[in-house]
Structure 1
Amino acid sequence: MVIVLLVFLILFSGCSCDIQDDPKHFRVLSYNVQNLFDAQLDGGEYPEYQDAKNWTDRSYRMRLTTLSTMLLSDRIGFPDAIILEEVEGLSVVQDLLSLHLGRKGYRWYAVAKGSDAAISVAIISRHPITSSLVHGSDGIRPVLQATIATQAGDICLFALHAKSQIGDGSELRLALAKAVGSAAQKHASSAVLLCGDFNEDPTSIWSTESGQPALVDMSHPDAGVYQNAGSLGLVGSSQQLSPALYYCPYLDQAWTSSVSGSCNWDGQWHRYDQILCNNKLFDGMGWEYESFTIQNLPSLCSSDGRPYAWNLNTLQGVSDHFPVLMTLKRR
């Protein structure tokens, strides 16, 4: 069962916003913020956050300030839409907006959380969210869909957080891929972005020897078999796109980055955090893909260049992931 928490509010309508709208660009940021819980004990939190001595209101507000400082950084460029993974729920998003982001024009938001989950996914926007849905089924995490209205046409966002690589989560990741793929196909005539922490590299098919990956690089000889069985088909060139395939910047030979991945486990970089585009973002009309970057800002890096992971014991750090940013341009 999925608990659906969907709220579309215009906050602080009397407050001024000093961010100038850029009608020629639309920026989407996706960020796994690593277990951002509020200070209210509800019983569903991870055990380490249920000890009031370790996790206090002061610590919580400090994390909100740290996160909002990054989100409102000039170097990020004030994204039009922000997708967050690993926030506890509705209260965290409301606090983030009321204390920090609302004054910069972020007024619309949606949150989805599983009934037995400790964390949720959220979409925050500076533009009206005109509709929303939650997709999923028992056993998998919910996929949050939100349609954002712009002058150049609607943009349909899907926010997700797939099961981690800890344990045997391959079937759950595949089930989630099937759910988001099926839902996205119903909006094939719109600009569609699949955003979040997929917990799987787009090239995983080349390194796995068993099981079916949730994401499949279509240059692999067996890619068609996996795609027909439910995997999301990915390509690195707009020339290869079709309504059933998604452009993945990581697979684009022309794409470059100063960092090898968005997260690092045991000394190995991974590209789990992704924003995937459908073919409507390459048809020469409305919104078009322009760029994709991993935002490894100095404030988000540890001394060795890896993400400066949040540490509950020391109350230091930010997140064990870097945010990723996609920019669309208006034709």
Structure 2
Amino acid sequence: MNKIKLKSPFLRLACRLQILALSFVFLFFSCGTSQKENSGKESLKVVNWNLQTFFDASFDGNEYSEYRNEKSGWSKERYEERLDRLASVIKELDADLFVMEELEKEEQIQDIANRLSGTFDFAKLYTHGFFAKTEGSSIGCAILSRYSLEGISVHTIDFRNGKKQPSMRPIIQFSLTKNKSKLTLFVNHWKSKSGGAEESEIWRKRQEKLLVRLMQKVKGKDKAVLALGDFNKDIWEFDISESDAQDSQNGERKTNIMLHGEEKFAVYSPWILEDGNCVTQGSYWYKNFWERIDHFFAAGNIRLTDFKAECSGEWAYEDGHPKRYQLWNGKGYSDHLPISCTVIF
């Protein structure tokens, strides 16, 4: 375990940065955060955003081909510009927990956090972070949190029977506690449909099976569980189920999605409305149609409110479509919209 000193201004906050020498690359840093005592259930605002191939300024040869040298148009200046834009969005959305897909390295968490640190409102600081990707992969997943990240573990698939396994992102499992309420989360970035939707579905099914097994281990009537991320699978491609499990607190919210593992596992998706239709605004605009491939799946003693695909900020056009990042001119943000919700647990 190696210690790395964070550059100013984090030295004033007495944070720690550690990298764990495992088969994945990890990042974790922490410092004290004040929590306001509340009675009853707690709530957190959570945002998930696929950042669209957000590489850093170094050319290591592991990037996607279009980013591998300065002839592509990618540069330190372009990287700094994207960092500034990302920090601006994070500040505007003001979530307690911000989860991101398609970052390249753990050092980028520090770069982002440095840009978010210019405030004397310590309740707004993101004082905890984490990054993971599989060895040899170009991109991974990252977390920024205002609350301590507990019990972090990373789970991956190692399939050696039959078809050759492509590079896939792991599932990050962690918990956070606000006062005495605990929330367990699973960050996902499932296999894309590149190479064909049908051909790649076998790998998404294996990732679904792994997620179900992990969620089943922690779910109980008193537990609050949330899976989130880019699943590369539209909500209508999941098993839409009849509502069959009521929220233990108010008796109103019911599950509407059945995930498949060794056993079926009922969860709730806020994309599906009570009338059986889905939220009109999707999170990914593809071939002139909205796709809803970024998800929150809730299970156990938990309720999701205020769900939306965030489409009214500088990262979206007036018609709500995402401003895709364009390498040739350095403009744009991402081809996904952020999704957000309030988690009550």
State TM-score, norm by structure 1. Answer: 0.80
What does 1:34-183 align with in structure 2 at a 5 Å threshold? 34-53=52-71, 54-73=73-92, 76=93, 78-101=94-117, 104-138=124-158, 139=165, 140-167=168-195, 168-183=199-214
Contact 1:3–1:112 under 8 Å retained in 2: no
Question: What is aligned with 1:270?
Answer: 291
One-letter amino acid of the counterpart of residue 62, structure 1? E
How far did residue 110 of structure 1 move?
1.3
Q: Any stretches of 5+ residues in structure 1 without a counterpart?
A: 205-214, 221-236, 282-287
| 1:169 match: secondary structure | helix
1:191 to 194, 204, 224: 224
| 1:318 match: secondary structure | coil
Deviations 1:114-136 (A, max 9, x none): 11311101121100112101111
How far did residue 259 of structure 1 move?
4.8
How far did residue 289 of structure 1 move?
2.6
- CA distance in 2 between partners of 1:143 and 1:291 (Å): 25
2:251 aligned with 1:251: no
- CA distance in 1 between partners of 2:292 and 2:56 (Å): 28
How far did residue 312 of structure 1 move?
0.5
Q: Percent identity?
A: 27
Deviations 1:220-244 (A, max 9, x none): 9xxxxxxxxxxxxxxxx73347993
Question: What is aligned with 1:260?
Answer: 281
Question: Residue 60 and residue 259 in structure 1: after superposition, are their counterparts in 2 closer, same or farther (change >3 A)?
Answer: farther
1:307 to 291, 297, 322: 322
Question: What is aligned with 1:290?
Answer: 305
Question: What is aligned with 1:218?
Answer: 241
Contact 2:283–2:338 under 8 Å retained in 1: yes
How far did residue 328 of structure 1 move?
2.1
How far did residue 47 of structure 1 move?
1.2
State TM-score, norm by structure 2. Answer: 0.77
One-letter amino acid of the counterpart of residue 306, structure 2? S
2:233 aligned with 1:200: yes
Q: Any stretches of 5+ residues in structure 2 without a counterpart?
A: 1-21, 159-164, 244-251, 259-263
Deviates most, 157-166 or 94-103? 94-103
What is the number of equivalent residue pairs in this alignment?
Answer: 289
| 2:28 match: secondary structure | coil
| 1:60 match: secondary structure | helix
Question: Residue 59 and residue 301 in structure 1: after superposition, are their counterparts in 2 closer, same or farther (change >3 A)?
Answer: same
Contact 1:259–1:294 under 8 Å retained in 2: no
Question: What is aligned with 2:344?
Answer: 329
| 1:166 match: secondary structure | coil
Question: Residue 253 and residue 101 in structure 1: after superposition, are their counterparts in 2 closer, same or farther (change >3 A)?
Answer: farther
Deviations 1:131-160 (A, max 9, x none): 101111233320011111211411111111
